[in-house]
Amino acid sequence: MWAVAPVPVSELPGVPGPAPPVFIAATLGCVADCMDWSLFPVVHVSDAEIVPGGEYVIEFVNCSNDLSSPNLVALTADWGDVLGDCAVVPCSPPNGIVEIIDVVGVLDKFTGKPAAPVKARVDVEPAVPDRIIAIGDVVRVLDAFTGDPYPFAGLVGCP
């Protein structure tokens, strides 16, 4: 699958569009989007096919000459593990443990607290993130904390 054209997404919890402050996000598609991706230093890619606890091989392909970069392996955090240590600001990345701090972090984002984690990390509901932090995101991380399995199917793929 391919990352499709990135868009600006608001960091504000209830705003999906490009209201400042923004981060750059993309979803996946079945057709390559030939563009200069170097214009974006960081692109947060999320989709139903990107599931928690997964390992993904990322390859950068130049559409004009079919040259590709060496593969980059990316690991996704476990289901519900959205934060690490919050004794530092901003909170450190996921630490491999789903604990109450993960639930509180999503709740902090939902309520718009300034030191809350980034939206790209805590937008876990639905399977294709809607770029809005709602009570469903809080409940899903609480479900993970209580031991519920990952609720989405994932791996739809391309025809």
**Higher confidence at residue 59 or residue 6?**
6
- Which pLDDT does position 43 carry in this prediction? 93
> Two tokens at 90?
């901003």
Q: Is the pLDDT of residue 55 over 80?
A: yes
Residue 7 lies in a domain: yes
- Which pLDDT does position 61 carry in this prediction? 78
Residue 121 lies in a domain: yes
Measured distance CA(78)–CA(52) in Å, rounded = 5
Residue 152 lies in a domain: no
Q: Tokens 């060496």 correspond to what residue?
A: 70
Residue 46 lies in a domain: yes
- Indicate the burial class of 105 (C-beta count within 10 angstroms; 0-12, 13-18, 19 or more): buried
> Two tokens at 119?
């939206």
103: left (phi over 0), alpha (psi -120 to 50) or beta: alpha
95: left (phi over 0), alpha (psi -120 to 50) or beta: alpha
Residue 118 lies in a domain: yes
> Two tokens at 27?
């979803």
> Two tokens at 145?
């904390």
Residue 150 lies in a domain: no
Residue 57 lies in a domain: yes
The answer, yes or no, to whether the previous bond of 126 is cis (omega within 30 of 0) is yes
Expressed as residue numbers, the domain containing 76 is 2-145
- Which pLDDT does position 153 carry in this prediction? 78
Could you give the residue ranges of the DSSP H alpha helices within the chain?
100-110, 119-122, 135-145
CB distance 65 to 81 below 8 Å: no
Residue 54 lies in a domain: yes
> Two tokens at 103?
């639930």
Question: Count of domains in the chain?
Answer: 1
pLDDT level of residue 26 (50, 70, 90 thresholds): very high
* pTM of the full structure: 0.89
- Which pLDDT does position 12 carry in this prediction? 96
